[in-house]
Amino acid sequence: SYELTQPLSVSVALGQTARITCGGNNIGSKNVHWYQQKPGQAPVLVIYRDSNRPSGIPERFSGSNSGNTATLTISRAQAGDEADYYCQVWDSSTLFGGGTKLTVL
């Protein structure tokens, strides 16, 4: 069965760029979506179809997908970006990555 692999944690200095990866076999051939979940809150869609931002999501959030890795990039990281981030694909059913905790130092 298909699996998605995310790092457990990523740290970034305030104002710098954070990159969160999502690995999967030939994931570049799939549509990858990203969700942000802040403590005590429901997940929120931040990127859909690899690199598209829903309305209301800052331009600082961007995504890419190629080969075996999809990447969520957060530019000019802010304290408010601290959260868990999950990638998701559809492979006959919904698959989520294990999640990455982003810490802004």
Partner 1 sequence: EVQLVQSGAEVKKPGESLKISCKGSGYSFTSYWIGWVRQMPGKGLEWMGIIYPGDSDTRYSPSFQGQVTISADKSISTAYLQWSSLKASDTAMYYCARLIPLLYYYDPWGQGTLVTVSS
CA distances from 92 to 2, 30, 36 (A): 10, 12, 23
- Which x/- pattern over 30-69 shows residues binding partner 1 (rule: CB under 8 A)? -x-x-x-x----xxxx--xx----x---------------
Q: Is 21 exposed, middle or buried (CB count within 10 Å of its CB: 0-12, 13-18, 19+)?
A: middle
Nearest approach in angstroms of CB 37 to partner 1 is 8
Q: Is 86 in the site for partner 1 (CB under 8 A)?
A: yes
Binding-site size for partner 1 (CB under 8 A) equals 22
Whole-angstrom Cα distance, residue 101 to residue 5? 13
Binding site for partner 1 (CB under 8 A): 31, 33, 35, 37, 42-45, 48-49, 54, 84, 86, 88, 90, 93-99
